[in-house]
Amino acid sequence: MSDESKNPPSFAWVEYDPRALKERRAAGVYNQQRRVVRAHVAHTSSGARQATIARKTSIAKALGPKKATKAPRESTSKVEAQTRADKAASDSISHLISRLRSRDAHVVASMAQKSDRVLLWSAFTGGTLCFEAAIFIAGTYANTCGISPHELHSGYGTGMLYLRGALLDSIQKSIIRTPKDGFNSISLALLAGWERRFGDHRSYEVHMKAWKNLPLAVGSLEDSGIAALTDVAMVCFREATQERYTAELAFSLNRSPIHGSVLPEDLPIGFHIVPTDRPEALSLLSTVAICATFDYTAKNSIADFRRLVIETMSWNASHSVSPTPDMNYEANWDRLHLNACYHIRSAMISSNAPVMAACIRAHRASWKFDVQSGIDIHAQACQHLKTHELMGTIYHHVAIWAKMTLNGHATPSQSGDEHMSALMKESGVKTWEQMEALLKRFVYREELSGAKYRRLFDAL
């Protein structure tokens, strides 16, 4: 049997569009995109991954359990308490998977108990691996920005390809390190459910064959269970954004001096020009307002901000009618209003990265995920946003802030700087003092990212 038949190749979601090649070369983005795609296609080779999992699992079994080093009594008690909490959560998740497995997936998604969704949110925000799985699912449509997936040059985008590869790596390491951890089951079930629904069927079959040999909760990878879990996760995300909208509508006393509509408390003044007559606009600005002033030193800041990261990633411009983007609903938006909201959401994905890092530093935690590479790919993907349509309109400054945020947080690159240079010619901003004053009207965490914005401005 040949090596290829033993390890069938996986398929990455990359669409080659020869019509766009000339334009991409001229824009200076072709080589960079090519490097990114090639790196992450290699990164997600399922055949090699199966062999690696099997080899490392065998080595771990052969070596036996590692001897635990003696820790101070106080630290030991904290570890034991955390272990008990994790086990309780793991047991609850196992029961949840069993319930999902026993019922029709679509019925479960619409009829899932509130307690189930609360439990899932606890898993999403309380465990690092589940958080990575959640942002992967939440990011499914994050880069479409009003463009249907088949119109994008790279399917669901290199951002999803990158998240998928990083999540596979994290799951593999976690299974080898802690094979009985129940969070492994829910994370892998979320990934499998996504591949079943959105991915390539052959890749899904290859991965399932390998995953079912791993030490996971019984039944956690049955088709009905993983299909239901993906649907329920999306219901969770939609419900969260809907709750932001209803809470602001019911309790906020702040009103826009321009439109007279509800505005979230503590919303930076630059966003006050955005109408909030649509539920999706109000929910987005509600999340923005919380992120803008979030205290990353607070006691539960890691879990709390993880939820905000997921909500930002999963937001879509039709969540009041569907958990996934609805092109017909979006067609009824004012075009400029919708475009401005897509710019805001895209910029907040980048802006949230240093705040998440600050939460982790403040509590001396760790996260191995390569966030910077993800932010770089996101900034590259968001170059297709129709920013020039906003220039010279009431959303002029929103567009400048959004693109400065996207490119400022990304690793410096020639294509990124050239893209911003073209916009700066239309901005009317001539000095750093003018730019800084503009940024401060929006979301600008100077203590975390001020130097990045200044570097980009100086480069331009």
**Residue 323 scores a pLDDT above 80:** yes
Separation of alpha carbons 114 and 383, rounded Å: 39
Structure-block tokens of residue 297: 């030193």
Instruction: Tell me which of 449 and 166 has the higher pLDDT.
Output: 449
| Selection from 312, 310, 382 nearest residue 152 by Cα | 382
pLDDT, one tens digit per residue, over 389-436 is 999 999 999 999 999 999 999 999 888 888 888 888 888 899 999 999
The whole-number pLDDT of residue 87 equals 61
Give CA separation, 219 vs 193, 198, 213, 215, 223, in Å.
Answer: 14, 22, 12, 11, 9
Give CA separation, 436 vs 353, 405, 444, in Å.
Answer: 20, 12, 9
What type of residue sits at position 53? I
What is the DSSP-derived secondary structure letter of residue 149? G
Q: What mean pLDDT comes out for the span 318-338?
A: 92
Instruction: Tell me which of 114 and 295 has the higher pLDDT.
Output: 295
| Selection from 29, 68, 94 nearest residue 380 by Cα | 29
Instruction: Tell me which of 136 and 172 has the higher pLDDT.
Output: 136
Q: Which of 5-19, 100-114, 201-215 has the highest mean pLDDT?
A: 201-215
Q: What is the average pLDDT score of the chain?
A: 78
Separation of alpha carbons 61 and 67, rounded Å: 14
pLDDT, one tens digit per residue, over 1-25 is 444 334 333 333 333 343 444 444 4
- Structural element, H or E, at residue 210: helix 201-211
Confidence grade of residue 333 (pLDDT, cut at 50, 70, 90)? very high
Separation of alpha carbons 299 and 302, rounded Å: 8
**Residue 116 scores a pLDDT above 50:** yes
Structure-block tokens of residue 195: 């591949």
Q: What mean pLDDT comes out for the span 361-384?
A: 90
